[in-house]
Amino acid sequence: MKRKGFTGELTGKKMTGDNWNETPTLAIAYIGDAVYELLVRTHLLQKGIGRLDQLHRTTVRYVQAKGQATLMKKLQPELDDSERAMFLRGRNTKGQHPRNIDVVTYRHATGFETLIGYLYLTDQKERLEALFDKITAYIDRNENGFPSEDTLTNEDTLQSEDTLRSENTRQDEDAL
């Protein structure tokens, strides 16, 4: 779905080579958070939500850490190696987390924001749009119950982290 005024056109600049790799992970996540919120707000306006209070409440549901962690759980099988690496980089970054959310959910949300920021900063507009289309399809299907009851549980988190660790170990062994 083509969107008018896509956010990648804000700066006209993209980070190339290793300069995005030198950027602090939480700064990439910070940009990802802003880009994702703008995409969500635009999507909701295009759906016809025009009342400011309703727009705000709906946006908050989609951009809160719990919702982002749910989306990341759904998106993980769709990610390529570089995207998975950025998610892991964001998820594994040390930092403070709010008291109102558990650390696992917050870290998965940070990984999600890092992925979005990475795609934006490296000017991968088509990939960002493709993932956002999957996100909006999922959100629209589960609109009344989003984030749904299939938000990350501790068991899911352990399973996904074990899977990612074993994939990383295999990649490290292949590199040797």
Cβ proximity of 87 and 72 under 8 Å = yes
Compute how many other C-beta atoms are within 10 angstroms of the C-beta atom of residue 124: 17
pLDDT at 44 over 60: yes
12 domain-assigned: no
Please indicate, yes or no, if residue 2 is contained in any of the structural domains: no
Q: Which DSSP symbol is given to 76?
A: G
Average pLDDT over residues 117-144: 89
Answer yes or no: is 131 within a domain.
yes
Provide the number of structural domains found in the chain.
1
DSSP letters, 128-144, are HHHHHHHHHHHHHHTGG
Task: Please say if the pLDDT value at position 86 is more than 50.
Answer: yes
CATH code, 55: 1.10.1520.10
**Active-site choice (33, 53, 102, 150):** 33
114 within a domain of the structure (yes/no): yes
Residue 37 included in any domain: yes
Asked if the structure places residue 1 within a domain, the reply is no
Per-residue pLDDT of 58-78, as tens digits, reads 888 889 998 899 899 889 999
Structure pTM?
0.75
Q: Annotated catalytic, 33? A: yes
C-beta of residue 106 within 8 angstroms of C-beta of residue 98: yes
Q: Which of 9-18, 22-31, 149-158, 162-171 has the lowest mean pLDDT?
A: 149-158
* Average pLDDT along the chain: 78
Does residue 34 lie in a domain region?
Answer: yes
4 domain residue, yes or no: no
Domain that holds residue 134: 20-175
Cα dihedral 158, 95, 64, 98, rounded to 10, equals 100
At residue 158, the pLDDT reads 41
Task: Identify which has the larger pLDDT, 20 or 76.
Answer: 76
